[in-house]
């Protein structure tokens, strides 16, 4: 027993040394410091925010965000360079929905065990919101009417019927019904910026889907493509070979499309990863979805064509639940949501409004049908394309006045703002 005592003491000493060593390793924290910009720097809409960091004792790329309080604004960014302990990032202030005020750059570095963050306040300044006019398609013409009532028209040389305006890009995108090229135009002046020749197999575009950063095209052959401001293809993938994408909507969850089974009258919802097209969720639909909108985060509204009626559903991807809300007389012609989450449904009989969040039943606001509806964020009025006229109206159903008139029917309309 006497001979074992030194051994026990030695063993305890070794364990203590190991324990202390481990503790020291676990208590090593990264060093992180924001070197630039200067505290309190102000940036205007459209500016690039250059951020230089000093990172030590870290073995991973830092996480860099611009926060509104504790919420990530999601401003797009690039990691530009890294040399020694310094790294350079640049953010792009291109989100028109961010209000003027104080924001915080947060940088978090990790060494695999511990993390440390540094913070720096900046100010973002939005330019005043301005209504610039509208853009529309009537037959084979692209028609612009600015806020002074001045009209410009471009002949499209083909049967064009799809239109999208992306405010981030400042681009008007048009697509033909068959055998034509997808085109992008600047709004002011109205001139063609790119012309994308149809690839083999693209006989028809079914929809253009606008998201905050880009415009997607849904082609009848299953091709889904996203285009940059310059017209380059940023993303490209195919839907399932047995499905034809018909209509869609983009949101934080991904790209939600209505797809038709080829050779059959079977329809389904497909929630796709917006980057690579991976199928995230699927749900059978009782009919063709004329429109899909996302009035509130995580819940979609869908207008489905029935026999002589419009059936409106809500869809929640998190639970993959499709819920019937109500039916309206007349088949659907378009579906729209404004910036206050009011949903407008036009049937062949009338235009109805409802708000999904408070469970209100639909109420008729106008006794005529719409081909398309847009929203003026400045006046908070809606632009209604009906027949060969565009009306200005309100979601509460106040008197609608004729705003513009063409010789031929106006198929689609988009309101244009400076941000």
List pLDDT tens digits, range 357-389: 766 689 999 999 999 999 999 999 999 999 999
Residue for token pair 């002589």: 308
| Confidence (pLDDT) at 86 | 92
Residue for token pair 């469970």: 359
Query: Which residue ranges form the domains of the chain, and what is each CATH number?
Result: 31-125 (2.60.40.10), 131-417 (2.120.10.30)
Q: Which pairing describes strands 321-329 and 309-316: parallel, antiparallel, or unpaired?
A: antiparallel
| Confidence (pLDDT) at 15 | 53
Residue 77 per-residue DSSP state: E
| Confidence (pLDDT) at 199 | 66
Task: Retrieve residue 201's tokens.
Answer: 């197999």
Q: Per-residue pLDDT tens, the chain, 419 aa: give them.
A: 445 555 555 655 555 554 545 444 557 888 999 999 999 999 988 889 999 999 998 878 899 999 998 889 988 888 888 898 999 999 988 787 788 999 999 999 888 888 899 999 999 998 888 999 999 999 889 999 999 999 999 998 777 889 999 888 889 999 887 767 899 999 989 999 999 887 665 668 899 998 877 899 999 889 999 998 889 999 999 999 999 999 999 887 899 999 999 999 999 999 999 999 999 999 999 999 999 998 766 789 999 999 999 999 999 999 999 999 999 999 999 999 877 789 999 999 999 999 877 666 899 999 999 999 999 999 999 999 999 999 999 998 889 999 999 999 999 999 999 87
What is the C-alpha to C-alpha distance for residues 413 and 104, in angstroms, rounded to an integer?
A: 38
In Å, how far from its chain's centre is CA 243? 23
Give yes or no for a contact between 329 and 323, defined as CB atoms under 8 angstroms apart. Answer: no
Task: Retrieve residue 190's tokens.
Answer: 């109205």
DSSP code string of 357-407 = TTTPPPEEEESS--SEEEEETTTTEEEEEETTEEEEE-TT-PPPEEEEE-S
CA atoms within 13 A of residue 347's CA, in its CB half-sphere: 24
What is the C-alpha to C-alpha distance for residues 266 and 11, in angstroms, rounded to an integer?
A: 74
Tell me: the pLDDT tens digits for 200-227?
656 688 999 988 778 999 998 899 999 9
Q: Which pairing describes strands 160-166 and 215-219: parallel, antiparallel, or unpaired?
A: unpaired
CA distances from 173 to 91, 190, 227, 292 (A): 26, 12, 9, 19
| Confidence (pLDDT) at 271 | 95
| Confidence (pLDDT) at 340 | 78
Task: Retrieve residue 115's tokens.
Answer: 């993390």
Give yes or no for a contact between 302 and 314, defined as CB atoms under 8 angstroms apart. Answer: yes
Residue for token pair 């106040």: 398
Beta bridge partners of 144: 135, 152
Please tell me whether residue 5 adopts helix, strand or coil conformation: helix
Beta bridge partners of 229: none
């Amino acid at each position: 027993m006497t001979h074992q005592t030194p051994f026990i003491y030695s063993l305890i000493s070794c364990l203590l040394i190991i324990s202390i060593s481990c503790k020291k390793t676990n208590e090593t924290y990264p060093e992180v410091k924001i070197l630039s910009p200067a505290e309190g720097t102000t940036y205007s809409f459209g500016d690039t925010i250059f951020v230089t960091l000093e990172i030590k004792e870290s073995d991973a790329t830092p996480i860099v965000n611009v926060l509104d309080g504790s919420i990530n604004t999601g401003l797009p960014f690039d990691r530009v360079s890294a040399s020694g302990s310094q790294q350079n990032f640049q953010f792009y202030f291109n989100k028109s929905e961010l209000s003027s005020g104080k924001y915080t750059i947060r940088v978090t570095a990790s060494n695999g065990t511990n993390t440390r963050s540094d913070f720096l306040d900046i100010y973002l300044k939005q330019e005043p919101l301005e209504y610039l006019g509208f853009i529309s398609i009537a037959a084979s013409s692209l028609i612009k009417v600015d806020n002074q009532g001045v009209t410009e028209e471009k002949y499209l040389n083909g049967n064009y019927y799809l239109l999208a305006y992306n405010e981030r890009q400042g681009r008007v995108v048009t697509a033909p019904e068959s055998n034509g090229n997808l085109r992008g135009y600047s709004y002011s002046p109205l001139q063609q910026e790119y012309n994308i020749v149809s690839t083999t197999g693209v006989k028809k575009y079914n929809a253009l889907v606008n998201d905050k950063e880009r415009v997607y095209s849904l082609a009848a052959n299953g091709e889904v493509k996203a285009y940059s401001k310059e017209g380059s293809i940023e993303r490209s993938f195919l839907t399932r070979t047995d499905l034809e994408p018909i209509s869609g909507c983009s949101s934080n969850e991904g790209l939600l499309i209505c797809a038709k089974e080829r050779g059959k009258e079977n329809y389904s919802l497909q929630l796709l990863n917006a980057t690579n097209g991976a199928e995230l969720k699927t749900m059978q639909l009782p009919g063709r979805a004329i429109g899909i909108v996302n009035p509130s985060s995580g819940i979609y509204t869908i207008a489905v064509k029935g026999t002589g009626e419009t059936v409106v559903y809500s869809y929640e991807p998190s639970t993959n639940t499709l819920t019937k809300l109500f039916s309206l007389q007349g088949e659907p012609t378009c579906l729209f949501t404004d910036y206050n989450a009011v949903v407008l449904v036009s049937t062949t009989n009338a235009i109805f409004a409802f708000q999904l969040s408070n469970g209100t039943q639909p109420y008729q606001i106008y006794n005529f049908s719409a081909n398309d509806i847009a929203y003026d964020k400045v006046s908070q009025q809606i632009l209604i394309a009906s027949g060969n006229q565009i009306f200005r109206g309100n979601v509460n159903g106040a008197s609608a006045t004729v705003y513009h008139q063409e010789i031929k029917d106006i198929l689609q309309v988009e309101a244009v703002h400076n941000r």
